[in-house]
Structure 1
Amino acid sequence: MKTCYKIIPLLLMSWILLSPATVKAQNDTLLVQWLVDDELAVNALYNAIISDTVAGGARANLNRVYKLEQGGFYYNTERIENNGWHLRIVGEAGDPNDEFANPPMLQLEHREDGGRADKILTAGGSVTLKNLIINGKTTLGDLPYEIVRFNAANANYHIDNVIFEFAGWGIIAFYGRNANITVTNSTFRNLLSLNQPWGGRGMSIWTDVNEVFIENNTFLNIGGFAVQLEGGTAEHFWFNHNTVVNNGRQVLLHSLYKDAYISNNLIVNGFWQGEGSEGFDPVRLATPDLQYAGMMAVNTLPSAVGLDIERIIVFANNGFHRDQVYQDYYNSTSGADFPIRPQPVFNERSMNLMAEYDNMIVVNHIENQVPGLVTAPDNPQEQIAFIQAVRAGESANTWYWDPGRDLTEHYSIQWPLPENLSYTNTTLRTAATGGFPLGDLNWYPAEKANWMTQRAALAEEIKSIAGPAPEVTLVASWEAEHATITGTTDQLEIVEAPNLQIAEMKGAGFIEWTANIAEAGNYSFSIRTRVPFSTGPDRAQKLIVNGAEVTQFPIGNEGNVWTDIVIENVALNAGDNVIRIEPSWGFQDFESVTISDGSGTVAYLRASQATLDAIALVCGGDLCASGDEYVEIKTGGSIGFDYTSDGSGSYVLRITYMLVDGEKSQDVYLNGNLVQSVDFAGADSSWRDVDVTGLILEQGSNNIEIRGTSGPMFVDYATLFKIGTATSIGNTERPDGFVLSQNYPNPFNPTTQINFTLPQTQDVRLTVYNILGQRVALLADGLFTEGLHSVQFNARDLASGVYIYRIESGSFVQSRKMILIK
Structure 2
Amino acid sequence: MKSIKVFVFSLVSILTCFINTSTAQWIKISNGIGDQNIYSFASSGNNIIAGSYGGGFLSTDNGNSWTNKLILPNHYIWSLAVNGNTVFGGSDNDLGLYISSDFGSNWIHSSLDSHVVYSLVSSGNNIFAGTDRNNIGTGVYFSGNNGVSWNQTTLNNKSVRSLAVNGNKIFAGTSFSSTDYGVFLSTDNGASWNITSLSGQTVYSLVFNGNRLFAGTIGNAVYYSDDNGSTWTQTFVPGQSVYSIAVSGNNIFAGTYQSGVYQSANNGSNWSNANTGFPNGISVYSMCIFNNYIYAGTLGQGVWRRPLSEVVGIHPTSTEVPENFSLSQNYPNPFNPSTKLGFGISDLGYVSLKIYDVHGREVAVLVNENLSPGSYEFEWNASGFPSGVYFYKLQSGQFSETKKMLLTK
Q: Over alpha carbons, which structure has the higher Rg?
A: 1
- TM-score over 0.5 for the alignment? no
Relative to its length, the structure with more strand (as a share) is 2
- Greater relative contact order, per chain length (Cα 8 Å cut-off, separation 6+): 2
Q: Aligning the two structures, in what range does the TM-score lie when normalised by the shorter sequence?
A: under 0.3
